[in-house]
Each structure stands twice: as structure tokens, then as C-alpha cells.
Copies of this chain bind each other. A is one copy, B any other.
Amino acid sequence: MGRRSSGRPTINDVARLAGVSPITVSRALRDPSLVSVELRRLVDGAVAELHYQPNVNARALASSRADVIAVLVPSLTNIVFADFIRGIYDALDDGTLQVQIGNTHYSPQEEERLVRMFLGQRPSGLILAGIDQSSATVKLLKAAGCPVVQVMEYHEEPIDMLVGFSHFEAGKAATEHLVHAGYRRIGFIGARMDPRSQRRMAGYQRALEEAGMFDPTLITTTPTPSSVPLGGELLAEALARNHDLDAVFCNNDDLALGVLFECQRRAISVPHRIGICGFNDLDLMRAAHPSVTSVTTPRYETGRHAVQMVRRRLSGETEEVRYLDLGFRLQARESSARAFAPRWKPA
């Protein structure tokens, strides 16, 4: 044992105990089918006896490939990304791959910096939120040399692969639901206004234009990060501008909840005087009183699928899914059920 040794058993120790060469141990561990049953048994025995654990750094150095999936999200606390990350972890539970998370704080510059940094580690895969990367980032990703999955949006020309849904269509569907429910002066309330929020708002606008009801003064947004209290504040603003506002499509459930509380505070009847539709369908929306209409989105599933796409690519499967639309579902509840309105029917 050299002076610099870490003291832990190495592949050489295993090889010696098993009476084989180190490379045979290496093969037996990475792909047992490369080694005869006999030797495989010997190796497994020695590994167990020594409690051998491969050194991931040595492995990565020798193979120029880290057993790591890099994940870039704009926020760590937004439940949307928390659920997504949980999906990733659950899909990776066999422990063969590690996760590295980067927080871009909704900044394309920060995203570019992180992509550069992560790519420097030669990850086995890179998963990142959205389709609005800077052109420099796109260039880096196209030359990444590992599977790249964009998530949480839908687009038919991904950099490499993509899984998500169309925020435009989701925003449009939510707004159409309010139209069908009988509301006529439907507002939009949004915070942060990142690219996905923008696309949901574009869907809202399209739906109202098609219904002949669009009015830009019905839109109330702020670059401030979203929160429940902010929902109430934005509703107050919207009502001050349009006294006849009779429904709001909220950019997310936090804002919708804030709107509901503000209505309660002002004794505004929901859904009769004002209808509410949220976005994401957190479990509290069904528990609220009245229960709140929302759009169910596939956050957890997106994480799982993204990992599966990376895995499939790594295992060299031929028939490959390049983009996957997981869709969304409108969940109609009490908050948008005007007594006299016809029941909304999915298309």
C-alpha cells in the first residue's frame, strides 16, 4: 500500500483475491456478460468479501465519462420543479447514475455558465428546463457529446430530445373553459412571466380573440416572483381597472389561491360573481372552499420520462423517441361553475 493510497480496497485487491486480472474485475462489474460464469462468481465473491466499491473518480477519469446526469432548473422551490426533480430521482433509484442539479434562477446567462461547467464534467446526460436557451448555449448543447433532453415545453425541433406539453395550448384550454362556463370579462393574472408563463398568456389571448372577447386591459402581470399574497394584490389591481371583471385565469395555483382569499376577504362570491382557474393543480386546489378549477400538468412524469430517454439513448436503442407530448388535463371544479352556465365538455 503506497503512501498516497486512500486505504480502501481497489480493483487490484479484488483481482488478487479472486485470482484474476484487474481488467477482468472491471469487466465483471460493468458488464457481467463479458466474463465467464466461473470468473464472474469468483469476482463477485471477492467484491463482497472486501466490501469493494469502485472509485467513481478513477472510473470517470479513465473513461472520460462521469456517471452523472446534470439537471438545470430555474428554481429549486417552485413546486413544479420540485416534483420534476423527484421524478428524476425516482427513475434513477438503482444508484447507477448520480444527479447534479444546477439552479439557473431564470437567467439564460446563468444557464449558459452552468451548461459550460456541467459539460466540463462529461456527464452521461443533460436535462434542462425550457426551450429558450441562448444561442451560445444551444451551440454548446449540440456539441455536448451526450444525450440532451429539454423538458417542460413542447416543440417539434428540440436540440436533441424533448418531453413536456404545450403551455400555449394549456393556457388556451383553460381560457376556453372559462368562456364555455359563461364568463365574459375574463382576466389574466401572471407573475414572474418567464417564457412558459408568456406562452400560457399567449394561449389565453388567442382563446379570447377567437371568442371575440379579448381586451388588453384585462391582463395584469408583474415580473415579481409568484406568491399567494401577490395573487390577492394582482386581483385588486385588476378589479380597480375593470369593475366588470367576472373571471380570472391565473398563471399558477399560488396566484389562484391568493385570488380566492382576496375574494373571500372582499366577500366576492366565487364562482358567481367571479370565476377562477389556476394552473398546475396542486392538491390544495381540490381541498379549497370552493374547490378551484385548474390545469393538471405532468411534472413528476416529465422527470421520469426524461431519465428514460437518456437511458434509452445510452443503451444504444435504435428506435428512438425524439419528442414526447405528455399533455395536460383541465380539471373543472366549483370555482368556475356559474350556476346558469352549460357544463363544460372536453373536446
Contact = CB atoms under 8 A, between A and B. Distances in A.
Interface of A: 4, 6, 8, 53, 55-58, 60-61, 64, 66, 76-77, 79, 82-83, 85-86, 89, 95, 98-101, 103, 117, 120-122, 227-229, 231-232, 254, 257-258, 261-262, 264-265, 282-284, 286-289
A254 to B, nearest CB: 7
Given A6-B64, A232-B287, A261-B288, 17 more contacts: A6-B122, A53-B120, A55-B61, A55-B120, A56-B121, A57-B58, A57-B66, A76-B86, A77-B82, A82-B82, A89-B101, A100-B100, A227-B283, A229-B287, A231-B287, A258-B284, A261-B289
A166 B229 CA distance: 29
Contacts of A283: 227-229
Contact of A284 (B4, B56, B77, B257): B257
A53 B86 CA distance: 31
A101 B99 contact: yes
A254 B53 contact: no
Contacts of A53: 117, 120
Nearest to A79: B77
A86 B64 contact: no
Given A6-B64, A60-B57, A286 B229 contact: yes
Contacts of A95: 117
Nearest to A75: B86
29 contacts: A4-B64, A6-B64, A8-B120, A55-B120, A56-B120, A57-B57, A57-B58, A57-B61, A57-B66, A57-B121, A58-B61, A76-B82, A76-B89, A77-B79, A77-B82, A86-B103, A89-B101, A89-B103, A99-B101, A227-B283, A227-B284, A228-B282, A228-B283, A228-B287, A254-B284, A257-B284, A257-B287, A258-B284, A262-B289
Main secondary structure of the interface of A (DSSP, over half): helix
Contacts of A79: 77, 79
Contacts of A83: 77
A303 to B, nearest CB: 10
A232 B284 CA distance: 11
Contacts of A6: 64, 122
A287 B264 contact: no
A121 B53 CA distance: 10
Contacts of A117: 53, 95
